[in-house]
Amino acid sequence: MDVVILPTPADVGTFAAQLIGRRVAASPGTVLGVATGSSPLGIYRELARLRAREAISLDGLRCFALDEYVGLPPDHPGSYAAFVAREITGPLGLAPANVRVPDGSAGDIARACIDYEEDLAAAGGIGLQILGIGTNGHIGFNEPTSSLSSRTRVKALSEQTRKDNSRFFPSGDTVPTHCITQGLGTIMDAAEIVLVAQGERKAAAVAAAIEGPVASMCPASVLQFHRRVTVVLDEASAGRLA
């Protein structure tokens, strides 16, 4: 695991976007796994900027979103389908057909999880997975106690996560109770992983993930077993590393 500590949150996005740009240039058909939430926003904005300057080409890029709320229609502004359309598909100029989000409003949710795994396998798996980390150490929505070998499935969101994510539901809608998420085993199948974190509120989870024991109580700690992970931190989120 490579750990890169940079002065500011903006530096985190720039560094990670440049790393991703190099990988995409080396392998244009790359399948990119995309996290939502606030942590990777700087990455997507920098990738869009590099593309606008023609410093990188994202032609042919395919994306798989990590997770989605159960029960939110894709056009709900709090859904991850809406986030991906707004922050990734549009700004990066991707063909919507090349962007796959788990179907959280499917009638048969169990089937939707299987379909997602099958589509991922058919695409050849994730080449590069972008991750954020929850304040409780989750990656994707694999909450503490998640099986380290789990596959895409429905999970109940913890109270902590629902509280943390209430900021994405300003209209007063309650945060859904369940989600579809790639499992930890699914995430570990990615050829390469880049995890980004910013801010003091992530410092305890970051320290547990990188320096703590590998344990389901800190799902991100499973990344210690992955062969190609880069963790990109600002100074505040790195503040509790030994």
Q: List residues near ligand F6R by CB under 6 A.
A: 35-39, 66-67, 132-134, 138-141
Length of the chain: 242
Catalytic annotation, pick one of 11, 46, 87, 138: 138
Handedness of CA 164, 165, 169, 172 (dihedral sign): negative
The least distance separating ligand F6R from the CB of residue 161, rounded to whole angstroms, comes to 6
CB of 240 to ligand F6R, least distance (A): 16
User: Residue 53 CB, nearest distance to ligand F6R (Å)?
Assistant: 26
User: Which three-class secondary structure string do you get for 187-220?
Assistant: HHCCCEEEEEECCHHHHHHHHHHHHCCCECCEHH
| Residue tagged active-site, from 68, 136, 165, 192 | 136
Distance CA 159, CA 156 (A): 9
Residue 138 known to be catalytic = yes
User: Which of 30, 146 has the CB closer to ligand F6R?
Assistant: 146
Residue 52 · residue 97 · CB < 8 Å:
no
- The closest alpha carbon to 102, from 150, 145, 140, 48, belongs to 140
Q: Can you tell me whether residue 38 is helix, strand or coil?
A: coil
By beta-carbon proximity to ligand F6R, the closer residue of 133 and 223 is 133
142 as an active site residue: the answer is no
Nearer to ligand F6R, 56 or 209 (CB): 209
Closest separation between CB of residue 51 and ligand F6R, Å?
22
Reply yes or no on whether 98 is catalytic.
Answer: no
Output 50 or 65, the one with its CB closest to ligand F6R: 65
Based on the residue annotation, tell me whether 189 is a catalytic residue of this protein. Answer: no
229 Cβ contact partners less than 8 Å away, ≥ 6 residues apart:
1, 2, 192, 193, 194, 195, 223
Catalytic residue list:
67, 136, 138, 143
